[in-house]
Amino acid sequence: MRVVILGATGSIGTQTIDVISRLNRAGYEFELVGLGAGHNIELLATQIEAFRPQVVSVAEEEGTRRLAHRFPDLKVMAGADGLVGLARLDGVDLVVNALVGAIGLRPTLAALERGRTVALANKESLVIGGELVKAALAAHGGRIVPIDSEHSALLQALSAGRRDEVRRLIITASGGPFLRTPLPELDTVRPEDALRHPNWSMGARITIDSATMVNKAFEVIEAHYLFAIPYERIEPVIHPSSVVHSLVEYRDGSVIAQLAAPDMRIPIQYALVYPDRPDTGLPRLDLATVGTLAFEPLDPERYPAFEAVLFAARRGGTAPAVANAADEVLVHRFLAGEIPFTGIARGIAAALAAWQDDSPLSLEGIRAADAWARGFAQEFAT
Ligand SMILES: NC(=O)c1ccc[n+]([C@@H]2O[C@H](COP(=O)([O-])OP(=O)(O)OC[C@H]3O[C@@H](n4cnc5c(N)ncnc54)[C@H](OP(=O)(O)O)[C@@H]3O)[C@@H](O)[C@H]2O)c1
């Protein structure tokens, strides 16, 4: 199996490499032919030494010079076009998209346009470009296998019945670090508190997006496109221990859940060898230690960003791209100490209220919406 990993140096990317090493020890034959990274040239160089890919891509030209000097036989590309080039590489069986942000959309489309299977962690591909991805899947016969733990759980639970028997999808949410914080204190929580996720160790943006529930709204959009279920039949539920990764309720009242230790390597492995379930020594779940499984409704007052992003989803077109880009900048500004935590939700809602564009979705339109929202969020005074 010849694999390209985009975002190889990130949280999902490095865990994907760990899983591939485990799978190869278990008898699979994965070959890393292409690696895409951003600015972490040192880690990428270590990966190149270990796996000897044919082609790599980095964010800036400066990185290409450093790598070309160190690895004279390696083909090195750069920028967004480099990532698209990797996704289109000849003779590739699987593209793992573990990029963060809107930059992930074009490579997803490029891989699907070649009829490829994409193991997708980059949720922004579906959040901002869901309709384009749907069209590419229909036109070229590629396939998406989700990496996100919730969607991996839904994929597994959906195999228990027919699609027309599904009543609703239930997506679990840990509630993040501020589940029990008194509401008035949310104005003054610090970045270091927000970065302390109770169950998962992830990249900075998704950790803050978990605290605001922007991430959960993105996951509702992802689920909508992955499984063709209308928004009104996809619901979040708070489940603080992140042991049940999501559930499917069927018409007869049966609810099928997927449980596993909160370790992203489990859904990553499922996506890589779907639908196989080899034992590669990943952590097991000890139910007696887990003890209790608790659930509670999502409080809209605590998580106003959830509704704001879902409003964008229902509006469609470029509105989700506005929500995504505004959120990215606002998260950055919160981490830099420029705006309060609660300013993220207010900024997203303000950007959506100010954005007027109801033209059909296109890459050009997404680019324009993204640029506009970044400018808006940068200037937004909370
Ligand atoms: N982490 C999780 O547990 C988790 C769970 C579910 C879903 N996801 C989703 O998976 C995706 C990746 O998340 P993550 O947590 O792995 O993020 P991350 O740790 O921040 O890693 C992001 C990766 O993208 C690369 N990248 C960023 N900007 C780039 C650019 N302009 N050009 C080329 N490469 C670029 C980074 O490269 P450098 O580091 O080299 O700059 C890095 O390899 C996100 O969409 C996230 O929502 C993550």
- Give per-residue pLDDT as tens, 211-222: 999 999 999 999
Can you give the length of the chain in residues? 382
Instruction: Give mean pLDDT, residues 95-104.
Output: 95
Identify whether the C-beta of residue 142 lies closer than 8 Å to the C-beta of residue 114.
Answer: yes
CA 170 – ligand 1 centroid, Å: 25
Using pLDDT thresholds of 50, 70 and 90, give the confidence band for residue 257.
Answer: very high
- Is the per-residue pLDDT at 167 higher than 70? yes
Dihedral in degrees, nearest 10, Cα atoms 272, 278, 280, 286: 110
Tens digit of each residue's pLDDT (9 = 90 or more) over 4-40: 999 999 999 999 999 999 999 999 999 999 999 999 9
pTM (2 d.p.): 0.95
Residue 267: asked if its preceding bond is cis (omega within 30°), the reply is no
Instruction: Give mean pLDDT, residues 350-379.
Output: 94
**Cα separation of 108 and 125, whole Å?**
7
Which residues are CB-contacts of 284 (< 8 A; sequence separation ≥ 6)?
Answer: 261
CA 208 – ligand 1 centroid, Å: 14
Whose structure tokens read 């999501």?
246
Instruction: Give mean pLDDT, residues 166-182.
Output: 96
Could you tell me if the CB of 7 is within 6 A of ligand 1? Answer: yes
Could you tell me if the CB of 153 is within 6 A of ligand 1? Answer: no
Q: What is the pLDDT of residue 360?
A: 85
Tens digit of each residue's pLDDT (9 = 90 or more) over 315-358: 999 999 999 999 999 999 999 999 999 999 999 999 999 999 87
Q: What is the pLDDT of residue 205?
A: 85
Could you tell me if the CB of 122 is within 6 A of ligand 1? Answer: yes
Q: What is the pLDDT of residue 179?
A: 96
Using pLDDT thresholds of 50, 70 and 90, give the confidence band for residue 382.
Answer: confident
Closest C-alpha residue for ligand 1 atom 34 = 38
Using pLDDT thresholds of 50, 70 and 90, give the confidence band for residue 196.
Answer: confident
**Residue 161, exposed/middle/buried by CB under 10 A (0-12, 13-18, 19+)?**
middle
Lowest mean pLDDT segment, chosen from 118-122, 194-198, 276-280: 194-198
Which residues are CB-contacts of 219 (< 8 A; sequence separation ≥ 6)?
Answer: 123, 148, 150, 151, 171
Instruction: Give mean pLDDT, residues 140-152.
Output: 97
Using pLDDT thresholds of 50, 70 and 90, give the confidence band for residue 139.
Answer: very high
Q: What is the pLDDT of residue 204?
A: 84
Using pLDDT thresholds of 50, 70 and 90, give the confidence band for residue 200.
Answer: low
Could you tell me if the CB of 82 is within 6 A of ligand 1? Answer: no
Instruction: Give mean pLDDT, residues 116-136.
Output: 97
Closest C-alpha residue for ligand 1 atom 42 = 10
Q: What is the pLDDT of residue 137?
A: 97
Could you tell me if the CB of 12 is within 6 A of ligand 1? Answer: yes
Mean per-residue pLDDT over the chain, rounded: 96
**Cα separation of 219 and 231, whole Å?**
11
CA 88 – ligand 1 centroid, Å: 20
Question: What is the DSSP secondary-structure string of 267-328?
Answer: HHHHHHHTT------PPPP-HHHH-----B---TTT-HHHHHHHHHHHH-TTHHHHHHHHHH
Using pLDDT thresholds of 50, 70 and 90, give the confidence band for residue 87.
Answer: very high
Closest C-alpha residue for ligand 1 atom 8 = 121
